[in-house]
Amino acid sequence: MTRAQTSESSWMPAWVPAVCIVTLTVTSALAQGQRNYAPGVTDTEIKIGQTTPYSGPASAYSEIAKAELAYFHMINDQGGVNGRKITLISLDDGYSPPKAVEQTRQLVEEERVALIFGTTGTPTNLAIRKYLNDRQVPQLLIGSGDSQFSDPKHSPWTVPGLLSYRTEGTLYGRYIAAETPDAKIAVIYQNDDFGKDLLEGMRQGLGAAAAKLIVATASYEVTDPTVDSQIVTLQNSGADTLFIAATPKAAAQAIRKVYDVGWRPKRFLDLVGSSVAAVLTPAGLEKSIGLISVMWLKDPTDPRWQNDPAYKDWRAWMARYRPEGDLLSNFNVSGYSYAMALTQILKRCGDDLSRENIIKQATHIDHLTLPMLMPGVTINTSPEDFFPVKQAQLARFDGKTWAPFGSVLEAGLAQR
């Protein structure tokens, strides 16, 4: 385990494949009253942990964690929140559920972190959920939108960080049903709860006609070297519409293979696989033209944000704290925004940094606005609904950027 050093003038993290640790300070005026601390919290420190895939088939997501580390470093430089430093311990789980379990136990039992923040992936978060809930350790703003993670009754310590996958799939299904009601739909999906949730959402959006409209499905394992055979099988189904429910590596392969075999269906791509930098560029920008996805954060490739003060602030932050990061990567926008949201939660805790109050604040967020949210999108949680993002907008890739179209849609409307 190593600890990266920080300075006022520059910061270049010494990334270690297995462990990344950054110590940062967060401050604001000290709240009055009795201090109540979780493990890992003192008058000067809040220790938090996460696992994320710095290696393996989903390693593109590590950009999110790197951005989170960089954001907390900025908070340190600015004086912090409530006079306490944040020590974020970020471990490489390789997108492996058993490894995520092992490392989460290490974080809780040996490192004694106050909470787990931003662990990436549906299978890894499902693997650690029961362990954390049994021990009443907050599992906050996790990198998954699986519908199982908003379950206040059975998993009251788990709070997702994304738009629900079920809702996202519903949005695509409703759009297809309205625009091309005679579509013949093929679906390629990751064979786990992530992919199945998106597929089920599309079925819900299509309604009673789903069984007729979806003419073929093909799954892939996250360990599969390619998805070429699945794409060929789906092409042979005669489908004229394709839904790609995949993580970055497989999403890029699917986009490229569809184009290379001469298949030209209308294509829908899930949000977590929509990064211009990590997915569309490797797939081929010209091969990605016409893809439809959803967005709830400002995409850094969209020229309409160039004069937006929030975008300019993000660019300035990238230049100072994440100079090695890709300015075209929406993962850097995501990490920036998740870390900002956690900072707000901790700030609202004041001196009551018990795990009970941390989860209370995380599940009582009312119209929180963050600079890089799309206009019309706010963060909201309640004891009955833990999903923080409930609005999104459809967008089409034009060869350079995602161009939003239509209006901002409410999750509730998509689910009806």
Pairing of strands 352-353, 292-295: unpaired
DSSP string, 29-65: PPPPS--EE-TTB-SSEEEEEEEE-SSSTTGGGHHHH
Which residues have a Cβ under 8 Å from the Cβ of 229 and sit 6 or more positions away?
Answer: none
Rounded to 5, what percent of the chain is helix, strand, coil? 40, 20, 40
Q: Does domain 165-295+393-415 have CATH number 3.30.750.24?
A: no
CATH homologous superfamily for the domain 19-163+306-385: Response regulator (3.40.50.2300)
- pLDDT tens digits along 148-158: 999 999 999 99
> 19 pLDDT exceeds 50?
no
The answer to which of 1-10, 281-290, 380-389 has the lowest mean pLDDT is 1-10
The answer to which of 27-31, 237-241, 249-253, 278-282 has the lowest mean pLDDT is 27-31
Alpha helix (H) ranges present in 149-216? 165-179, 193-206, 210-213
Average model confidence (pLDDT) across the chain: 91
Q: What are phi and psi of 338, to 5 degrees?
A: -65, -45
Where in the sequence of the chain do the CATH 3.40.50.2300 domains occur? Answer: 19-163+306-385, 165-295+393-415
Q: How far apart are the first and last CA of the chain?
A: 49
What is the pLDDT averaged over residues 329-335? 96
> 295 pLDDT exceeds 90?
yes
Structure tokens at 78: 């600015």
pLDDT band at 35 (very low <50, low <70, confident <90, very high): confident
- pLDDT tens digits along 56-115: 999 999 999 999 999 999 998 888 888 998 999 999 999 999 999 999 999 999 999 999
- pLDDT tens digits along 160-219: 999 999 999 999 999 999 999 999 999 999 999 999 999 999 999 999 999 999 999 999
Contact (CB, 8 A) for 372 and 337: yes
Neighbours of 309 (CB within 10 A): 9
pLDDT band at 6 (very low <50, low <70, confident <90, very high): very low
